[in-house]
Each structure stands twice: as C-alpha cells, then as structure tokens.
Chains A and B, each alone.
Chain A
C-alpha cells in the first residue's frame, strides 16, 4: 500500500470537477493527490448527457475554447463533437429554446433558426412533427466515461496521484490553515485542499466552518441500441437532454428528479424506475424514425444542487488554504474551464480568465435557513414511507 505522506494540493473527490482541477495543476508540475471514496468518475460525472453548451455561464468562452483541443491536451479520446441542434415540438418550447440563441449571440456565437426542411436535412431520424428548431454553432458533446478516465490518466501522466476507494473523514487544522486531510489511510499533509466531492461537498465544507448549501437528487437516463450515425449527434429538445453517441446509441434523459434525504457515509442508492417509459416516448417524438429502436439500458445518477442551481467555486473564508467547488448538477461540459478556474484560485488566489464572482459563497449570506423546505426540495415519498 502507498504510504500516506502528503501532497502540495490534495483534491477531495475524483469526479469531473476534481479531476479537471487535478489535471490543470498537475500539468504545471504541481504535486497533486486526488482522493476518491469510490472509483474515478463513478458517480454523476460519468452518468450524464455529455453536453458542452453552457452559454449562461461565465465559463462559457473557456469551455468553448478548450473542448475542441481536449483530445490533444489530455492525450486520450473524449469523443468531443462540436455543435448542437435543438428541436421544438410546441411554440412554447420554440420560445423558451430561443434564450440560448440570445445568450450566445451576446458572446459572439451564431445560431440558425431551422424550419422543417432544414430539420429533415440535418436530422435524418427526425419526422415532420417538429415546429422548428435551432442550430447552435457552438457547444457540442463528449463521452463522459471516456473523458473522466482521460483526465485521470492525464493526471498520472503528469506525475499526479489518484487514490481510489479511500474515504476522507475530516481535516486537520492549525493556525487558520488546513494542514492535513484525514483519510482511511491516515493523515495526508497538504499546502492546499480542494473540496470537489459532489453531494458530500456540503458536509465536508461544514467541517471547515463554512457549509456550502446543497441538496442531492436522483435523475434518470436511457440508452438505445446503435442506429446509423446522424451528421450531428448533438440533437436534443422536447424536454430532453442527450446525444447520439459515436457508436450510434441514443442516450437521453429528462423528467422529474427525486430529492433525497441528507446522505450518510455511504453512496446513496441510484435505482432507475419506470420513468424509462416517459423518457422513451419523448425520444420517439424527437426521432420518429427511431421509434422502433430498442432501449437497452436505463440508469440513474445522484447530483447535488445549490439553492440557486449555480456553481460554487470559491476560497473558504474560514481557513486560508481551502477551495470548494460544486458545479451544481451541470459540471461535465464545463469541466475543462472549471478545473482551470479552480487551478487559478489555488495558485493565484483569483480566477484570471473569467469573472466568476457569481460563483461566490457570499451570495448565500441572506439565504433563509429553511431554504430547502421553502423550495419544496423535500424527499416527500421517503418521509411518507417512514411515517407509514
């Protein structure tokens, strides 16, 4: 067994955010250790739709800049494919989906509005049931599993270390600094700690005196058998997110999430449910010519959200050398940029390439203590089960 000594930067959490941060740091020669309680990318990071089109985020420009280079930068295939098409099946959807066009235009990206003829040409699996759509000349999609493993291997290629199946129990502090991370394998000394532990980020940050407010929920996806490749795999809409993979499978999710009660030590269970049928129907509406395609798997993931659903990437105010990061359920696509932002906070104390002031924890200073109840983010059915 590896001896627990220490690292310049210890990153708690081997999800996409922690791994990207680890990669940005390691490639500069920083001595990085990523500690993951399970396996890298095993949780929500490896179970999402793979979209890379976050035009609302201050990290958007960096996301768009980095993705086309990620295969080369990491040295491993991410399956990134540029551009995205979004189809609308009602006037209401058409109106709501226009926001992306406005947001992107403001930042210098083009969008084409599609009519039915355009859709027929661009989306061979589509039918004549769409009222319209958008062709976003930005964004795209990648393969989460492969990208996550690419980050992990790239960290190791640059001399960083990853400990899997090692749980973090707490922190050692002295003189207003985190001096070590307490783990299953003993105390690991550090100059800086990054907490990027998904749903566990709240509890871990609370141990350092400043809790990141968050709640965890379960959400589901389905995947079909492979179909002939469409010219653009990044086609979604109709209340779905997802893509056609490079293998040809349709991988889509959407619909109601289930709020979970506060989690304990163990990873929360992630069962899928008959929601598969409702997702399947919407995929068949999105692609009438694929209605015969068979669903071969469904699965669920557990993701955390902050009260406003926006990321937290910030230095804790309670200690000098701790950075917290949660991307609040939208982390995969932004990961090339979020990892760089974390690197900047750790090394330089501030993000040098984007204004991420909207990611600061300070915004929750006036948050109602019972915010979770007020927003209805309650594990209702579970409470009823316990009462029964």
Chain B
C-alpha cells in the first residue's frame, strides 16, 4: 500500500548537492572592487575566497572571452607565465590580497551561481560553479560579492568581424595590464568616458589613436578627456561612422559623415590603421546575477541593464551583493576608483551586519550614481541606426551564428534550413509580436542570433537596439535577453565531474519514471487510483 509519508523517488527529494568546499565570503572578480571587498572582508576576520578567470589563455582570448579581444592581442600574451606576471604586477591589490591571507585564485572562472528559492528549493544554500579549465567543482558560500566588471557593446559594420576590431575594455586591458596590444594605430568609435579612458591607455602604452569617430554631433564624454585624447594626436570626427573596414585583418577604415537620420553623406575617407576599437558603450557584466535570478532593470544612470541594488549594494537575493562596474557604470565612477572602493566596503559592512554586527567598521556613505550626462538610449540607438541599419551590405550582427540585421528584423529562419527563398515565410517583427513589446528571447529562438558560444556578449545590445528601432519602443522597454548558466562554456566531461548523490544515480530516469504514463493505451485500465494503478519495479520513461 502506498504511504502518504513517501516521497517520489524520481524527484529531487532526498537528493543533495554537496559542494566540495565552502567559503564565508565568495568574491567573483579580482579587479579593483572585488579585491577591495576581499581585503575588507579579510581584515574583518572573514574567510574570503576570490576567483577570477583572468589572465585567460591566449586561446580563450581568441574566442573573445571574457572581452571582445578581436584577435587584437600580440604574441606577448601567448606566454602564460608572462601574462600572469604582467597581470599581477599591474594591480598592486593582488599582492596585498595574497599577503593578507585572502584565498585568491586566478585563472579560476565562475560559470554559475545558484540559490535556493521557489522552484529550486532543493539546493542546500548558495553555491557557485567554478572551473580552472581542467576541473569543475562547486563551492558553497554564505555570502557572495559579485565584482564581474564590464564589457563593451558590439557594433556591426562591414568588416567588424575581422581581426583587429575589438572592444575598448579589451584594448585597455591589453594595453594597460598585459602590455600586449597588437594594433599600433587605431580608430576609436565613440566618445564615452570609458572609450576615452581606453584611448588614453592606448596612447600611454605607445599606441596611436589616429581618429575618434563619433556619430553624434558632439562628444558625450567629459570634455577634459576629449581634449586629452586630441592632445595625444587623435583627430575628432563628429557626425561620422565607419562604413567599412578594409583588408584581411584591419588595414584601413573607411569613414563617412552621416546626416541626422544616420545616412551616410558625402565622400568616404580612407584612414589607414591596424585596429578599430569599439567604445560606443560599456555595460555591466550581469550574466551571473541574471542567471541566478537577481532583479535587474534598465537603469540609464548605471549604463543600461544593471542589478537592482540597495544602498549597501545588496541585490534582490539577500546574501548576494554587486560591486564595481557590474553594479553600474557612470563617468565619475569610471574616473575615480574610490567610488568602487566605497561600494565594496559598503557590501562588506552589510555582510558583517548580517552576521551579527560585531566588529562592523564605519561604512562609507552609500554610492548613488550621478544623473547621466547624455541620453544613453538615444546615443546607442543612434549608433545602431547609423552603423548597422544603414550599413552598406549586410554585416553579421551575431558573429557566432552569422545573422544579419535584416534577418533579425524579418525573423528569418537560419539559412542552413534552406527556407530563405520561401515567400510564405515573409514575416516581420510586427507579425511576430502583435500588439506587444518585442522580446529578444523570441527573436533569438527563431533566428538563432545570440545562441552561439559567445552567448550574445557581442550582439545582445545591438539586437535590443534593433528591436527598439523597429518597434518604435524605447530601448529601456526592450526586455533583457535572458542569461543562462553556464555563463562560460564548460566541456561535458568537465561538468560531469560535479559530484552526484547515490540516490540520484540510482533513480535516474529520462522523464518522470511513472509506470502508468507509459502503459500502452490498449492495456490501460478504465479507472486510475494510486492504490491500483501506480505500478512498481523497473521502469524507463519513453
């Protein structure tokens, strides 16, 4: 007889997730904010584990992980030991963290964050998935501070998939931290504070910024930074876009003036260069936070989609905090490291408070973003309209899956299905979405844009802009394309190393493992009760 106390053995009941190690505080990201947080935690007597995937290998850089390196790294970064030395030497807090007893693990990536909650109640607590490239394992954490940094918005134009076209953050990282920026003469797109800071870093490393190309009619970043970059030899081309990049790898950029609608006007000009740096927007890296289920919102003052954080940097998940660029990017913060430091110390003070308050240091004031100096929605839409929509030819917006802007807005099935000439399949976003707002996930599923191994890092903001332009909606109203674990691709064999409860292996089935579900219809009894119909013994779902 069935007992009301029994639990479905095929369900998660009785299965456990056992992390192979535990930390009081797990910090994800060993940049300035993450290290400041880890040091503050260690000084307060908390055990802190810090992980950072950097310095990633040359091969990983070649896959544009975690930044859009665009093959712009020099041979110097092939040497793993040298890259590690350069990386450590370029951030004094790393040495300090090691000396302070922080458990700092470089070349260790966090690919997933999980917390118990509705729908995932079986998890034992907050756990993070880590990998060092060979092994994957889980670490349990009482508190998590995410300091995952920033990345750059991609921007399509003919040739943007060629070696030498790279993000501003990647260029700055290569120039300032690895001494391994291959291009020596670059054209910079965009005048954001973050783009200009990258330009200054390139100039400081001995590179030349030959031109700063800006589709808007005035720079959007701080005037003193613009002046400094121009002082360093850059020509400022306002109201311009890059029409095409020439060469097998970058040899020259063709630039042209644009009118108010973003259409190219006048003659094109050829600017010899060996690199093109995309600086039209830096965005918080929120992949782990979003996949975890933290609330996010489009916050122009924080650079776009960012986690919703309270005054102590707490996310909507109580033991998870966001500090540094991943919590929001604005010009004053990009220029003054003290802002991120304050965020980090606020988060640690909040954790100490959560743990009972003993030894709480005086926390700095809450960090509040400044009002944006420009309309980032209009600015990003302006770039996508002028560069992508008005592009000559049809450059891929999604490089992984080779999807063009037209295929995106027409919601075309991927070319490999061979339906390109099928006129019945003429559809548009309007037909797809009816009266509602466009959802990037729907477009992603149908066109495959954003479904490749880079998981949309280079195309998701462009896709959102295209949907906004096409629908006439505000960019802020376009939902965030969902992030999913693993946020870094993990080999099957490596993921398979995660431990598994014996009860899980014993009861494993492809589906619910119910006898009655798969009884062929000609053997099905007229009535079903649990007592008579449930069945027992071995079963495999079909």
Contact = CB atoms under 8 A, between A and B. Distances in A.
The finding on whether chains A and B are genuine partners in a shared complex, rather than unrelated, reads yes
Nearest to A47: B445
Nearest to B15: A256
A153 B520 contact: no
Interface stretch (B186-194, B326-334, B348-356, B510-518): B510-518
B136 interface: yes
Secondary structure of the B contact surface, majority rule: loop
A92 B538 contact: yes
Nearest to A378: B7
Contacts of B538: 92, 95-96
Contact of A367 (B118, B519, B530): B530
B119 A300 contact: yes
B493 A292 contact: yes
Residue from A163, A284, A374 whose CB has the most chain B CB atoms within 10 Å: A374
A99 B542 contact: yes
Interface string A284-322: 100000111111111110100101111000000000000
A294 B117 contact: no
A274 B121 contact: no
Interface residues of A, number: 109
Contacts of B452: 225, 296
Nearest to A46: B445
Interface string A329-349: 110000000000000000000
A77 B520 CA distance: 31
Given A1-B435, A363-B526, A257 B11 contact: yes
Contacts of B357: none
B8 interface: yes
A77 B367 CA distance: 51
Contacts of A106: 520, 522
A273 B455 contact: no
Interface stretch (B199-207, B265-273, B494-502): B494-502
A103 interface: yes
A55 interface: yes
A277 B500 contact: yes
B520 A255 contact: no
A276 interface: yes
B310 interface: no
B496 A281 contact: yes
A44 interface: no
Contacts of B291: 272
A246 interface: yes
Contacts of B13: 259, 376, 378, 380-381
Nearest to B484: A297
B173 to A, nearest CB: 23
B12 A153 contact: no
Interface stretch (B217-225, B379-387, B425-433): B425-433
A240 B542 CA distance: 10
Contacts of A79: 417
Given A103-B520, A269-B117, A276-B486, A284 B12 contact: no
Interface string A355-388: 1001000011111101101111111111011000
Contact of B542 (A56, A296, A373, A380): A56
Given A269-B118, A293-B491, A239 B530 contact: no
Contact of B12 (A309, A371, A381): A381
B431 A153 contact: yes
Interface size class of B (residues with CB under 8 A): 35 or more
Given A145-B446, A224-B492, A254 B11 contact: no
A278 to B, nearest CB: 5
A7 to B, nearest CB: 16
A258 interface: yes
Given A276-B486, A302-B119, A256 B10 contact: yes
A45 to B, nearest CB: 12
Contacts of B484: 272, 297-299
Contacts of A111: none
Contacts of B6: 376
B358 interface: no
A62 B433 CA distance: 31
Interface in A101-149: 103, 106, 145-146, 149
Contact of A292 (B122, B431, B491): B491
Interface string A261-287: 000000011111110111011111000
Interface string B475-510: 000000000111001111101111010001101111
B434 interface: yes
Given A239-B508, A247-B414, A278-B504, A271 B114 contact: yes
A223 B114 CA distance: 18
A169 interface: no
B497 to A, nearest CB: 7
B446 A149 contact: yes
B493 A376 contact: no
A313 to B, nearest CB: 12
Interface in B114-156: 114, 116-123, 127, 129, 136, 138
Contact of A295 (B117, B492, B508, B533): B492
24 contacts: A46-B445, A76-B424, A77-B417, A93-B540, A99-B542, A145-B446, A163-B434, A218-B119, A219-B511, A225-B489, A269-B293, A271-B114, A281-B493, A292-B491, A295-B486, A297-B451, A300-B119, A307-B528, A309-B518, A368-B529, A370-B4, A376-B11, A378-B7, A380-B7
Interface of B: 2-4, 6-15, 17, 112, 114, 116-123, 127, 129, 136, 138, 291, 293, 401, 413-414, 416-417, 419, 424-425, 427, 431-436, 439, 442, 445-446, 448, 451-453, 455, 484-486, 489-493, 495-498, 500, 504-505, 507-512, 514, 516-522, 524-531, 533-534, 538-542
> Nearest 4 CB-CB pairs, A to B?
A309-B517, A277-B498, A281-B496, A294-B489
Interface of A: 1-2, 39, 46, 53-58, 75-77, 79, 92-93, 95-97, 99-100, 103, 106, 145-146, 149, 153, 156-157, 162-165, 217-219, 224-225, 236, 239-241, 246-247, 253-260, 268-274, 276-278, 280-284, 290-300, 302, 305, 307-310, 328-330, 355, 358, 363-368, 370-371, 373-382, 384-385
